[in-house]
């Protein structure tokens, strides 16, 4: 039986994986939007979504992902899109609704072409975005943002409420506020220069935080946590990783079930509570600051300042430094606690 040429080609492209979208390529569709916008809804099965706030007129750029290194020409890709895909871009009640679907169903389309969108909108718009296998990129937006994906997440200069989930990608967020709720199943999380209410979670990745201010919760099930310059209230925990803390000036609570805590607190925290259930805890405190110490470990080592009043039997340390002040609780029941002043 002779197989039609298009059927053979369609089977071929379904059997290969596609490369990630190259935003520097020329889009196959460029659409200007004349209506005013308040919101954006995008749904694509295999493609990236980027929404960028701008003072220019709204517009949409549509990109087709390469099938492989020897991909078809732009004209051929456009012909395949026109022939086999439905791309809808409509505005209804100031809501931009964008979607990409395949006439052969998602199961075939996911293995064929990836259709990605780059959308330029007013900063104030709200977004609801869904991509099963692509990345989510949000830049320079003030409205509320919600999204789900299996790919990477990148947020920059977002000042609205954000709630996003990814099951297979890293999360990077920077210069954003005031309400951030982000989670990934198997990726890493990086947050830099953000403030407000911040909730970050990963099941199988590491967390790296720097220059955050507000009410911050950051947890991972099996990764390390590194934090630098946190102000406000900071709660962080890992089940099977180490925690590194530097230059904290917050109400600090940190715990690990099977790792080591290293806290170099060159700034004065408002309160300190460290718990290393199955590991060691090393804490360095600022010299000549007042602390109330309550430390317990399998062994406790470290030199106390001359102005220390209290007791230390090598397993429990309790007392005041420089007349008392910031409460410090450290637990490492099966590990060693090292306390020093810097």
CA dihedral sign of residues 20, 26, 29, 30: positive
H/E element holding 82? helix 74-84
Cα three-residue angle 20-194-264, rounded to 5 degrees: 105
| Res. 289: pLDDT tops 70 | yes
In which band, very low, low, confident or very high, does the pLDDT at 306 lie, cut at 50, 70 and 90?
A: confident
Burial 268-288 (b: 16+ CB within 10 A, else e): ebeebbbbbeebbbbbbbeee
Concatenated DSSP letters for 131-169? ESSS-EEEEEE-S-EEEEESS-EEEEEE-S-EEEEESSS
- Give the pLDDT score at 82: 83
List the beta bridge partners of residue 49. 117, 136
> Which one has a higher pLDDT value, 305 or 59?
59
Q: Encoding tokens for residue 62? A: 């549509």
Question: What number is the average pLDDT over the span 116-128?
Answer: 97
- Give the pLDDT score at 5: 31
Closest CA to 278 of 243, 319, 303, 327: 243
Is 342 strand, coil or helix? coil
Task: Round to whole Å and give the CA distance between 74 and 63.
Answer: 10
- Give the pLDDT score at 168: 87
Question: What number is the average pLDDT over the span 290-306?
Answer: 93
In which band, very low, low, confident or very high, does the pLDDT at 106 lie, cut at 50, 70 and 90?
A: low
In which band, very low, low, confident or very high, does the pLDDT at 305 lie, cut at 50, 70 and 90?
A: confident
> Which one has a higher pLDDT value, 124 or 12?
124
Q: Tell me if 233 sits within 8 A of 215, measured CB to CB.
A: yes
| Res. 10: pLDDT tops 80 | no
Question: What number is the average pLDDT over the span 327-340?
Answer: 95
What is the Cα 53 distance to its own chain's centre? 20
| Res. 342: pLDDT tops 80 | yes
Structural domain boundaries in the chain: 1-131
Question: What number is the average pLDDT over the span 148-153?
Answer: 95
In which band, very low, low, confident or very high, does the pLDDT at 320 lie, cut at 50, 70 and 90?
A: very high
| Res. 18: pLDDT tops 60 | no
Q: Return the DSSP state at 186.
A: S
In which band, very low, low, confident or very high, does the pLDDT at 23 lie, cut at 50, 70 and 90?
A: low
Q: What is the mean pLDDT of the chain?
A: 88
Concatenated DSSP letters for 89-142? EEEETTEEEEEEEETT-HHHHTTS--EEEEEEE-TT-EEEEEESSS-EEEEEE-
Per residue in 32-81, pLDDT tens?
Answer: 999 999 999 999 878 899 999 999 999 999 998 754 444 567 777 788 78
């Amino acid at each position: 039986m002779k197989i039609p040429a298009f059927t053979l080609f369609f089977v071929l492209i379904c059997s290969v994986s596609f490369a990630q979208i190259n935003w520097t390529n020329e889009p196959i569709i460029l659409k200007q939007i004349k209506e005013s916008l308040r919101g954006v809804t995008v749904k694509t099965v295999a493609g990236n979504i980027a929404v960028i706030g701008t003072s220019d007129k709204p517009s949409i750029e549509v990109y087709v992902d390469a099938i492989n290194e020897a991909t078809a020409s732009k004209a051929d890709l456009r012909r395949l899109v026109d022939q086999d895909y439905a791309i809808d871009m409509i505005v209804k009640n100031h809501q931009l609704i964008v979607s990409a679907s395949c006439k052969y169903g998602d199961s075939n389309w996911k293995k064929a072409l990836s259709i990605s969108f780059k959308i330029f909108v007013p900063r104030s718009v709200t977004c609801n975005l869904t991509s099963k296998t692509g990345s989510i990129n949000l830049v320079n937006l003030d409205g509320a943002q919600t999204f789900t994906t299996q790919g990477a997440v990148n947020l920059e200069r977002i000042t609205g409420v954000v709630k996003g989930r990814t099951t297979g990608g890293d999360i990077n967020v920077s210069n954003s506020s005031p309400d951030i709720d982000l989670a990934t199943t198997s990726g890493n999380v990086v947050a830099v220069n953000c403030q407000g209410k911040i909730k970050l979670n990963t099941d199988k990745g590491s967390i790296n935080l720097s220059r955050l201010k507000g009410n911050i919760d950051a947890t991972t099930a099996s990764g390390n946590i590194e934090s630098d310059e946190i102000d406000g209230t900071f709660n962080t925990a890992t089940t099977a990783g180490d925690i590194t803390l530097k230059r904290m000036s917050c109400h600090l609570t940190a715990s690990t079930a099977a790792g080591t805590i290293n806290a170099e607190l060159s700034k004065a925290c408002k309160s300190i509570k460290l718990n290393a259930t199955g590991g060691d805890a090393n804490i360095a405190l600022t010299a000549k600051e007042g602390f109330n110490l309550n430390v317990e470990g399998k062994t406790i080592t470290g030199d106390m300042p001359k102005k220390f009043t209290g007791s230390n039997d090598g397993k429990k340390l309790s007392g005041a430094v420089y007349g008392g002040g910031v409460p410090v609780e450290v637990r490492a029941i099966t590990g060693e606690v090292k306390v020093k002043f810097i």
